[in-house]
Chains A and B, each alone.
Chain A
Amino acid sequence: MTTLTSATPPKKKSKRPKAEPTVLFDAPGPKARRRNAILTVLGVVVVAGILYAIYHRLDQADQFQGRLWKPFVEGSTWTKYILPGLGGTLKAAVVAAVLALLFGVVFGLGRMSDHAWLRVPSAIVVEFFRAIPLLLLIFFIFSGPATIATGLNREPPHISAFTAVVAGLMLYNGSVLAEIFRSGIQSLPRGQSEAAYAIGLRKNAVMRLILVPQATTAMLPAIISQLVVLLKDSALGYIIAYEELLNEGFKQIPANYGNLLPAAIVISVIYILLNLTLSRIATVLERRSRRSRKSSAPTMAAGAPTQIESGMGNAAF
């Protein structure tokens, strides 16, 4: 899609020119070039000023001592803290992603059912879990079942931090995914299902053979950017002491080496790289499915907040 801020000329497959062409402004003339140069210098000066201020602050607080950074070049720090933490994050994110996709399919289809007894409860579940903060959900799943079981004279179940994080992520992101699925299928032209019914397919076959395959292509970028959200939200496990990347890298390492700021920088770089990789996949998929003619649905954007309907918190983060 050609847009205002990235209007790549059509049919031009050669390497992208250095300055991304945009229709917002003309090729700069002498005056504009001078202004650009001034703005560039100004921008550089301001950024350099900010960087220097940060540097100065860090220096004053003695954050550039080698011993604070040394742990991160030692293998033991990585094998003892960061890699297990990363493993914990990925484990929670992958399990939650699979469960959330299942949850989303079940409730997304449930919401489109012809039977009110299925449609209404699905809608209530989806809207409820989308509307409440994930953190409250995780808190309740973590400690609620034990209290309630005790109150009802049952054996209190053991809910680990891992279970609480995964269940919370599944319910919240599953509900968002359910809405993505629903809007993906509804964004298909009516003619698709009408044609399918006309050639004698049943409801089940129309959904399975015609609508879902086309909608999946269109939804994939939106689904992946929701999975980025899920990965990032797994950091909430920090609050209930689940051993994930943030906990290991930002609580354990500073506790042992007293290097909070270096740890913050290293850990956030790891998160950024992880998420950027996933987002990159979403963008590639988006571009590919925009090119392909296999689906008649408009491709949902990956980057921008999923704009399903401007109702209750269809949050993109």
Chain B
Amino acid sequence: MNWDVLFDFSPFAKESDKVLEAFWATIRLSATTGVLSLILGTLLVAMRVSPTPVLRAIGTFYVNTFRNTPLTLILVFCSLGLSDTLKINISDETSVNSFWLAVFGFSAYTAAFVCESLRAGINTVPLGQAEAARAIGLPFTQSLRLVILPQAFRASIAPLGSVLIAMIKNSTVVLVAGYIEAAAQMRQMFEDYGATLPIFLGFAAGFMVLTLPAGLLVSHLSKRLAVIR
């Protein structure tokens, strides 16, 4: 009997620097993607509610396309299609290059969900608010900027938080784009030490450490900033 497969956490001690580095990579990836997808998502939602039909159509097309394509496909495409076939490369250094290619694909995907969360937030604003804004003569941009969006952003915090947490978990798929982050490191350790329970639990706990505080912070914020009606 070799109970190590159930209780031996020593691989983490041996590879602690590599594991920490992998999780640091996950954090960097998630943070960069978070910022980029928030910018792109806001732009998309502005297009989706705009008075111009063409812009609305473009926004809808984008969201439908990226929301319904598997992330795995997008990321494999980014690494093989963009870099190998089309020769679009950002940097000569492999790790930097694969990082940015992954970030672009991942942000393009996440932005569709950010856009939908923001739109859900806009939909929680009562009709009367928009009507009142128009009644006092505010044009579209001002009613959006002064009345609708401030309320919508606050209502969007909870769904945006879900998107953030899902994004952190989804960052594991980036291993198909050849960037070494936590999931790739776990797979490597599965190969080196065998797929033992402690290794799996250790990485699972690592992700919980990342997602739990994010979840708590978001639910705290969404309660504190909720628009009282």
Binding site for B on A (CB under 8 A): 2-5, 7, 19, 22-26, 28, 32, 36, 39-40, 43-44, 47, 57-58, 61, 63, 128, 131-136, 139-140, 142-144, 146-148, 150-153, 228, 232-233, 235-236, 238-239, 246, 250, 260-261, 264, 267-268, 271-272, 274-276, 279, 301, 303-307, 309-317
Contacts and interface: CB of A to CB of B under 8 A. Distances in A.
22 contacts: A2-B127, A4-B130, A28-B51, A32-B140, A43-B52, A43-B54, A132-B204, A133-B170, A135-B175, A139-B186, A147-B194, A147-B195, A148-B195, A233-B70, A235-B73, A239-B175, A260-B77, A260-B80, A276-B64, A310-B158, A313-B168, A315-B163
Given A40-B53, A305-B159, A134 B169 contact: yes
A135 B1 contact: no
Interface stretch (B10-18, B31-39, B83-91, B92-100): B83-91
Given A22-B49, A305-B166, 9 more contacts: A4-B130, A24-B144, A44-B54, A134-B172, A147-B5, A151-B196, A152-B5, A307-B158, A311-B219
Contacts of A150: 5, 194
B140 A25 contact: yes
B227 to A, nearest CB: 14
A63 B81 CA distance: 11
8 nearest A-B pairs in the assembled complex, by CB-CB distance: A151-B5, A315-B166, A235-B70, A304-B120, A310-B158, A3-B123, A143-B195, A275-B68
A146 to B, nearest CB: 7
Nearest to A18: B53
A25 B196 CA distance: 59
Contacts of A307: 120, 158-159, 162
B170 A147 contact: no
B161 interface: yes
Interface of B: 1-6, 48-55, 58, 64-65, 67-73, 76-77, 80-81, 84-88, 113, 116-117, 119-120, 122-123, 125, 127, 130-131, 134, 139-140, 143-144, 148, 157-159, 161-163, 165-166, 168-173, 175-176, 183, 186-187, 190, 194-197, 200, 203-204, 207-208, 211-212, 215-216, 218-219, 222
A23 B162 contact: no
Most buried by A among B84, B87, B134, B211: B211
Contacts of B73: 235, 246, 250, 264, 267-268, 271
A58 B86 contact: yes
Interface SS majority for chain A: helix
Contact of A136 (B72, B203, B211): B203
Contacts of A36: 51-52
Contact of A271 (B6, B68, B77, B200): B68
A313 B130 contact: no
Contacts of A267: 73
B159 A57 contact: no
Most buried by A among B1, B58, B165: B165
B54 A39 contact: yes
B200 A63 contact: no
A26 B162 contact: no
B1 A152 contact: yes
Given A132-B207, A275-B68, A313-B162, A61 B85 contact: yes
A148 B208 contact: no
A309 B176 CA distance: 31
Given A28-B51, A43-B58, A238-B72, A4 B1 contact: no
A240 B134 CA distance: 55
B222 to A, nearest CB: 5
B166 A272 contact: no
Given A40-B53, A61-B86, A152-B2, A26 B134 contact: yes
A305 B116 contact: yes
Nearest to A1: B123
A133 B172 contact: yes
Contacts of A131: 204, 207-208, 211-212
A143 B190 contact: yes
A157 B86 CA distance: 43
Given A305-B113, A316-B162, A133 B169 contact: yes
Given A131-B212, A135-B172, A246-B70, A151 B2 contact: yes
B127 A144 contact: no
A22 B200 CA distance: 50
A74 B3 CA distance: 55
B54 to A, nearest CB: 5
Given A4-B127, A25-B140, A140-B195, A313 B4 contact: no
B211 A151 contact: no
Given A24-B49, A44-B54, A304-B120, A135 B183 contact: yes
Contacts of A57: 86, 88
A306 B120 CA distance: 11
A307 B158 CA distance: 7
A151 B68 contact: no
Contact of A312 (B1, B64, B215): B215
